[in-house]
Structure 1
Amino acid sequence: MATPLTAAQMYAALLAEGVNIVARPGWETHNRNHKGAWGPVHGIVIHHTAGVGSGLADYCSRGSSDLPGPVCHGFAAKDARTHLIGHGRTNHAGSGSAAILDRVIAESGGPFRPGPDEVDGNSRMYGLEIENRGDGRDPYPAAQYDQAVRWAAAICRAHGWTAQSVIGHGEWTRRKVDPSFPMDQFRRDVAARLNSSPAPKPPTPPKPSPSVLEPFPGATFFRVGRRSQIITEMGRRLVAEGCGRYKSGPGPEWTEADRQSYAAFQRKLGYSGADADGYPGPTSWAKLRIPKT
Structure 2
Amino acid sequence: MATPLSADKLLKALRDEGLRVVEHRSWRTHNRNHKGAWGPVHGVMIHHTVTSGTQSSVDLCYDGHSALPGPLCHGVIAKDGSVHMVGHGRANHAGLGDDDVLRAVIDEKALPADNEANTDGNRSFYGFECVNLGDGKDPWPAAQLEAIEKAAAAVCRAHGWNHRSVIGHKEWQPGKVDPRGFTMDSMRGRVRDRLAGRPDGPPPPATYEPFPGAAFFRAGRHSAVITAMGKRLVAEGCGRYEVGPGPDWSEADRASYAAWQRKLGYSGSGADGIPGKASWDRLKVPNV
Whole-angstrom CA distance in 2 between matches of 1:212 and 1:188:
32
Partner of 1:30: 27
The 8 Å contact of residues 44 and 167 in structure 2, kept in 1 or not, is answered as yes
Partner of 2:75: 73
TM-score, normalization by structure 2 = 0.69
Q: Deviations over 1:30-56 (max 9, x none)?
A: 35734346433221113457799xx65
Partner of 1:245: 240
Closer/same/farther in 2, CA of residues 239 and 76 from structure 1, 3 Å limit: closer
SS of the residue corresponding to residue 248 of structure 1 reads: coil
SS of the residue corresponding to residue 85 of structure 1 reads: strand
Closer/same/farther in 2, CA of residues 246 and 139 from structure 1, 3 Å limit: closer
CA shift for structure 1 position 171: 0.3
- The gaps in structure 1 that reach 5 residues or longer are none
Whole-angstrom CA distance in 2 between matches of 1:267 and 1:69:
25
Q: Deviations over 1:166-194 (max 9, x none)?
A: 21221012222425444345546655665
Whole-angstrom CA distance in 2 between matches of 1:166 and 1:183:
8
Of the structure 1 ranges 212-221 and 126-135, higher mean CA displacement relative to structure 2 is found in 126-135
Q: Which amino acid aligns with 1:35?
A: R
Question: 1:46-125 maps to which residues of 2 (within 5 A)?
Answer: 46-47=46-47, 56=54, 61-63=58-60, 71-73=73-75, 75=77, 83-86=82-85, 88-89=88-89, 93-99=93-99, 100-116=101-117, 119-121=120-122, 123-125=123-125
SS of the residue corresponding to residue 220 of structure 2 reads: coil
- The gaps in structure 2 that reach 5 residues or longer are none
Question: 1:1-293 maps to which residues of 2 (within 5 A)?
Answer: 1-10=1-10, 13=13, 19-24=17-22, 26=23, 30=27, 33-36=30-33, 38-47=38-47, 56=54, 61-63=58-60, 71-73=73-75, 75=77, 83-86=82-85, 88-89=88-89, 93-99=93-99, 100-116=101-117, 119-121=120-122, 123-128=123-128, 135=136, 148-149=148-149, 151-173=151-173, 174-184=175-185, 186-187=187-188, 190=191, 196=196, 198-199=197-198, 209=205, 212-293=207-288
The 8 Å contact of residues 77 and 147 in structure 2, kept in 1 or not, is answered as no
Q: Deviations over 1:1-59 (max 9, x none)?
A: 3111234534555577xx432233x369635734346433221113457799xx65x56
Whole-angstrom CA distance in 2 between matches of 1:228 and 1:118:
55
SS of the residue corresponding to residue 45 of structure 1 reads: strand
Whole-angstrom CA distance in 2 between matches of 1:224 and 1:28:
38
The 8 Å contact of residues 27 and 84 in structure 1, kept in 2 or not, is answered as no
Closer/same/farther in 2, CA of residues 31 and 6 from structure 1, 3 Å limit: closer
The 8 Å contact of residues 60 and 71 in structure 1, kept in 2 or not, is answered as no
SS of the residue corresponding to residue 258 of structure 1 reads: helix
SS of the residue corresponding to residue 77 of structure 2 reads: strand
Whole-angstrom CA distance in 1 between matches of 2:165 and 2:228:
39
Closer/same/farther in 2, CA of residues 46 and 256 from structure 1, 3 Å limit: same
Closer/same/farther in 2, CA of residues 259 and 199 from structure 1, 3 Å limit: closer
Q: Which amino acid aligns with 1:95?
A: G
Whole-angstrom CA distance in 1 between matches of 2:187 and 2:271:
49
Q: Which amino acid aligns with 1:171?
A: E
Q: Which amino acid aligns with 1:249?
A: G
Whole-angstrom CA distance in 2 between matches of 1:285 and 1:136:
30
Q: Which amino acid aligns with 1:216?
A: F
CA shift for structure 1 position 245: 1.8
TM-score, normalization by structure 1 = 0.68
Whole-angstrom CA distance in 2 between matches of 1:146 and 1:286:
26
Closer/same/farther in 2, CA of residues 274 and 41 from structure 1, 3 Å limit: same
The 8 Å contact of residues 214 and 275 in structure 2, kept in 1 or not, is answered as yes
Whole-angstrom CA distance in 1 between matches of 2:29 and 2:116:
26
What root-mean-square deviation, in Å, do the aligned CA atoms of Structure 1 and Structure 2 show?
Answer: 4.3
Closer/same/farther in 2, CA of residues 110 and 250 from structure 1, 3 Å limit: same
Identity among equivalent positions (%) equals: 42
